[in-house]
Chain A
Amino acid sequence: MSAISRQTIVAGFLPLLDCALLAVAASRGFAEAEGIELKLVRETSWANIRDRISVGHFDVAHMLAPMPIASSLSLTTLAVPMRAVMALGTGGNAISVSGDLWRAMKVEGAAENGDPLSTGQALARVIRNRAETGAPSLHFGVVHPFSGHAYELRYWLAAAGIHPDRDVEISVLPPTVMADALAAGQLDGYCVGEPWNTKAADTAGARIVTTKEAIWPGSPEKVLGVTAKWAEANGDLLCRLIAALMAAANWCADPGNLEELAGLLAGAEFLDCPVDWCRPALVGRLRFDAQTEVNVPGFLSFGGVERHCPREDHGLWFYAQMVRWGQARFSEGDLDLVRQTFSPALFQKALGTDGVLNASGEGTGSTLFDGQVFSDQTLADHIAGYVGQAG
């Protein structure tokens, strides 16, 4: 028996590749090294994650990055102020289309390398042709209305002049059924995390047309979500958990551990799928379709404090998309709530990186695939341009 008793943290997660940090921290001794017994509970929907963290069944949870923002801004039920205290990885999503749609896009000149500019414009031409012949609207799927998937798909469509609510139809479906829905002709395409694009390439004749990493390079996908109340009451414990997850992240980033990581995630406790489906995303070499492999460096990445530190400008990008598509009404006061939700302060305190990372002020920002720069400085312009786009 050790002199210091270990403290238990209960974490909810969904079986997706980016639950890797939690899986590794719990099973490879990183949580234990920080005096934490990390208990993982697998869930079946983001609604369950939201409900169970809200009633206190979970202390922390694997969450879609926009979820804590939606909760802090009371845009969902059971809304409580939440914090995204750490990014659990960057990238990981892709947009896939059915074999039929891909053939039509290729006729319209879609690039084979996943260039979002080219594939988006080709899709726009396909949609215009279909409208002229009176063909029904194309139908796309995402996993949740408040998700990176939804905003990346919408951003990609809108950049090509396709209105995501008027020119196509977008539905929410669980990631596990996307491939089957595509094969059955219920969907023409979708944006989803891996391994659900690989599965569709293998089993449903689907084709990847672009990736999250290409649309918004280096952007966070899932975060460690926690209620503001729990974070305040358990500051020290949460800092130790962040340190454990950071150690796990660096372990995941080591190519020498890749095969072990793929095996762990494919296991019955986590994704419960063929290990062959987990490798492409982790290696960064995707099967765009059954015959074509394409290198996508950084497709899904872990490791390094800069990657995992929450950034206010990332939170603001998500918020701007909520405003753009009519999920939130813009208010100056909400900007502060978003900044608080994605504040880097606790992460920096946990890892002693104050001053090393300048994650909130000048010099940060993102350049998206269409050349738009999104930062604190350009926020107001983007918001002004977004008004009136919804509906």
Chain B
Amino acid sequence: MTPSLSILVIDDNRIRASIIEQGLRDAGHDKVIVLDQMDGLVRRITEIEPDVIVIDLENPNRDQLEHIFQVSRAVRRPIAMFVDKADAGSIEAAVDAGVSAYVVDGLKRERVKPIMDMAISRFRAFARLNQELEDARSELAERKVVDRAKGILMKSKGISEDEAYRLLRRTAMNQSRKIGEVAQSLVIASGLLMD
């Protein structure tokens, strides 16, 4: 049996890093190290001597990392993932997902590909999760602003809550705008008038 690969995950987003770490462990990789601090990056890499390095594309230290690998005099010298042009699809998938990887020279493609595929799918899942969270947040914010706009209408026009809501909705439809936008304009306008 071949010895298991040591994998270093560099990501200052701790939640995402732990999602990847878990995925790798579930896939049977027991040598996974996560770095979320960029201080002493070079020293840590020389200590850890990883076979595979996974790094997120938002990380501003990629140029530094690549330089370290380039001038490294060590035998186990990491090179960029997917240097083979035949891997164009994989490169695109990785960049799309926002992840990049480096592997020590000479490591067989078949051993690294599943790790990369896993990282890509976890990155995608994380991005999706983030988007859902963002949507939920803006939905909540919209509900709040609509409530405020209804209150303003009820007070100034002496109408019921239902009537206030219908008025907002009708205005939004007539102007082909979102109800949240109309409510927002009303809240701002009313704020200006009150001052």
Docked Cα-Cα span, A173 to B79, in Å, equals: 19
The answer to whether A78 and B66 touch (CB under 8 A), given A45-B59, A48-B57, A174-B61, is: no
* CB atoms of A48 and B62 under 8 A apart: yes
Question: In the bound complex, do residue B64 and residue A44 qualify as a contact, i.e. CB atoms below 8 Å apart?
Answer: no
Q: Tell me the smallest distance from the CB of B112 to a CB of chain A, in Å.
A: 15
Task: Provide the bound-state CA to CA distance between A174 and B65, in Å.
Answer: 11
A387 at interface by CB-CB < 8 Å: no
B58: nearest chain-A partner, CB-CB:
A44
What's the minimum C-beta distance from A374 to chain B, rounded to whole angstroms? Answer: 26
Q: Give Cα A176 to B38, complex, Å.
A: 13
Cβ distance A201 to chain B, nearest Cβ, rounded Å = 22
Residues of A contacting B: mostly: loop
A171 touches which one: B58, B67, B83 (CB < 8 A)? B67
- Residue-by-residue, is B44-66 near A (CB-CB < 8 Å gives 1, otherwise 0)? 00000000000001111111101
With A and B bound together, what is the CA distance between A47 and B81 in angstroms? 13
Chain B's closest residue to A175 (CB) is B60
- Cβ B61 vs Cβ A145 within 8 A: no
Q: Least Cβ distance of B186 to chain A in Å?
A: 27
Whether A57 is near chain B, meaning CB under 8 Å from some CB there, is yes
- Asked if A52 and B95 make an inter-chain contact with CB atoms under 8 angstroms apart, the answer reads yes
* B64 and A173 contact, CB distance less than 8 A: yes
Closest chain-A Cβ to B72's Cβ sits at a distance in Å of: 13
**Chain A residues with a Cβ closer than 8 Å to the other chain, count:** 22
Does B154 count as interface, using CB distance less than 8 angstroms? no
* Cα separation A333 to B95 with both chains bound (whole Å): 32
**A76-106 to B contact mask, C-beta < 8 Å, 1/0:** 0110000000000000000000000000000
CB contact under 8 A between A44 and B59, given known A145-B70, A171-B64: yes
Nearest CB in chain B: distance from A40 CB, A: 17
B interface bracket (residues with beta carbon within 8 Å of A): 20 to 34
Within 8 A of A (CB), among B18-72: 42, 57-64, 66-68, 70
B195 at the interface (CB under 8 A from A): no
Q: How far is A144 from B83 in the complex, measured between Cα atoms in Å?
A: 20
Taking the closest CB of chain A, its distance from the CB of B46, in whole angstroms, is: 14
Task: Please give, as numbers and ranges, the residues of chain A lying within 8 Å of B67 by CB-CB distance.
Answer: 144-145, 171-172
Q: Is the CB of B95 within 8 A of A57?
A: yes
Within A32-79, the residues touching B (CB, 8 Å) are: 44-48, 51-52, 54-57, 77-78
Whether A47 lies near B95 (C-beta < 8 A) is no
Chain B residue with the shortest CB-CB distance to A52: B95
The reply on B92 being an interface residue by CB < 8 A is yes
A45-B83 in contact given A52-B95, A55-B95, A78-B91 (Cβ < 8 Å): no
Please indicate which of the listed interface residues A51, A54, A173, A176 has the most CB atoms of chain B within 10 Å of its own CB: A51
As a 0/1 sequence over residues 312 to 346 of chain A, the CB contacts with chain B under 8 angstroms (1 = contact) are 00000000000000000000000000000000000
Once bound together, how far apart are the Cα atoms of A145 and B70, in whole Å?
9
- 7 interchain pairs, CB-CB under 8 A: A44-B57, A77-B79, A144-B67, A145-B70, A171-B42, A172-B63, A176-B60
Residues of chain B whose beta carbon lies under 8 Å from any beta carbon of chain A: 42, 57-64, 66-68, 70, 79-80, 83, 88, 91-92, 95-96, 100
| Pairs A-B, 7 closest by C-beta atoms | A172-B67, A77-B80, A47-B62, A174-B60, A45-B62, A44-B60, A55-B92
